[in-house]
Structure 1
Amino acid sequence: MDTNRRLGDIMTTNVITVHLTTTMDVVSDIFEKKNIHHLPVVEKDGTVVGMISKSDYYQLQDSFTLFKRAAAERINQAVFRSLLASEVMSKQVAVLNPDDSVLMAAGYFRENLFHAIPIVDENQRILGIVTTYDLLTYAFQGAAIAN
């Protein structure tokens, strides 16, 4: 594996994002329908200002009961309609640029326990995202994994 490989070469470019004023019911719908775990929060011009993880989303849910599932879903819907992404997002988001290396991203993941890093241009506008899954896929491309 070439640890000096550019993040721009391995990042996901078709990034689903939400805006500061997006309600959490929309975020909930995205997490339920898409196979993603991190949603960058952006301003209207695409500037990254936060991140919502699926863990953040799960912590908001009132669904830890087996017996009142319908009631929990009604509560979740009411709460999610009233919360904005800006109220839930993590505001301190590390970002990298496409010319940064795979090694640099691995260091960020390891030292900060991040699982996703938005890739931005010189104006902090989102270009892509790199996740720990992306790094693992890159590191083990072409490798036969035995059972």
Structure 2
Amino acid sequence: MKSTVRDVMTTDVAAVDQQVSFHAVAELLIEKGVSAVPVLDDDGHVVGVVSETDLLAKEEFKGCYYGDDYRPPLRSRIRHSAGSEGNRHRKSLGETAGELMTSPAHVTLPDASIVTAARHMDRQGVKRLPVVDANGRLIGIVSRHDLIKVFLRSDQHLLALVKEAVRADELGISVTVSGGAVTFRGAFPERSQPSMALHLAGSVDGVVSVRHCIP
């Protein structure tokens, strides 16, 4: 009943290989209207992700080091060559996707749950995840926008899913859904069934709330 990444991912993915130039990556991001693309090796494995942030690092450091003929002292250049600043400086010198990308890439599997993918994005501070098969090859991409689609299911669709999950017709219980809120009306045959029904209904992706009303 739980939706997986496979249910919402995009399979038509814009991706680049490691030899693609800086300008070609920038043009692809603009053309596709995306902020990042996976970088693949020759066998289709995801080896990194190159984003707008990676590209902007080049301009940022160019302005810092070379703008108005400014050249920082050697000590400053050495300091920037270490740690995260050093990584950004390295990217500022890059000319290809392989040199500009962030690696390793944060990825997910197609059978991962929506909740798992959302938590992974939040934990890593990313807006999308390449979806890979068991061998690490790219098969799709999932974004935050894709994940919230499960909460846009129609009430009619949710009603069918909930009734199937709790076997409402067999129990003789009335079920209604309004704005994603599920309401059970009537007495369940057994005392233990209401809590189980509420739990099952609440686990359906897209359900906002569940309640039981007894006439």
TM range (shorter): 0.7 to 0.9
The equivalent residue for 1:135 is: 147
Matched, 1:17 2:29: no
The equivalent residue for 1:76 is: none
The equivalent residue for 1:105 is: 117
Q: Distance in 2 between matches of 1:51 and 1:114?
A: 11
Question: Which structure has the larger Rg?
Answer: 2
AA partner of residue 130 (structure 2): P
* 1:5–1:34 Cα change, 3 Å: same
**What residue ranges of structure 1 are gaps of 5+ in the alignment?**
66-79
AA partner of residue 132 (structure 1): R
Q: Distance in 2 between matches of 1:30 and 1:129?
A: 16
Deviation at 1:16, TM superposition (A): 0.6
The alignment's TM-score, normalised by the length of structure 2, stands at: 0.53
Q: Distance in 2 between matches of 1:20 and 1:111?
A: 26
The alignment's TM-score, normalised by the length of structure 1, stands at: 0.76
Q: Following superposition of structure 1 onto structure 2, how do residues 74-113 of structure 1 map, counting pairs within 5 Å? A: 83-113=95-125
Q: Distance in 2 between matches of 1:111 and 1:50?
A: 18
Q: Distance in 2 between matches of 1:26 and 1:142?
A: 41
Deviation at 1:111, TM superposition (A): 1.4
CA RMSD of aligned residues (A): 2.3
AA partner of residue 51 (structure 2): S
* 1:60–1:136 Cα change, 3 Å: farther
Of 38, 43, 46, which residue of structure 2 is paired with 1:45? Answer: 43
More helix by share: 2
AA partner of residue 88 (structure 1): L
Q: Distance in 1 between matches of 2:19 and 2:47?
A: 12
- Range with greater deviation from structure 2 (46-55 or 135-144): 135-144
SS in 2 for 1:25: helix
Cα shift readout 1:76-109 (whole Å, capped 9, x = no counterpart)? xxxx9x7011111000212111111101001101
Aligned length: 125
Of 17, 33, 38, which residue of structure 1 is paired with 2:31? Answer: 33
Identity among equivalent pairs (%): 29
* 1:61–1:105 Cα change, 3 Å: same
| Paired residues of 2:9 and 2:140 also in contact (CA < 8 A) | yes
- Runs of 4+ aligned structure 1 residues displaced above 3 Å come to 140-144
- Range with greater deviation from structure 2 (10-19 or 110-119): 110-119
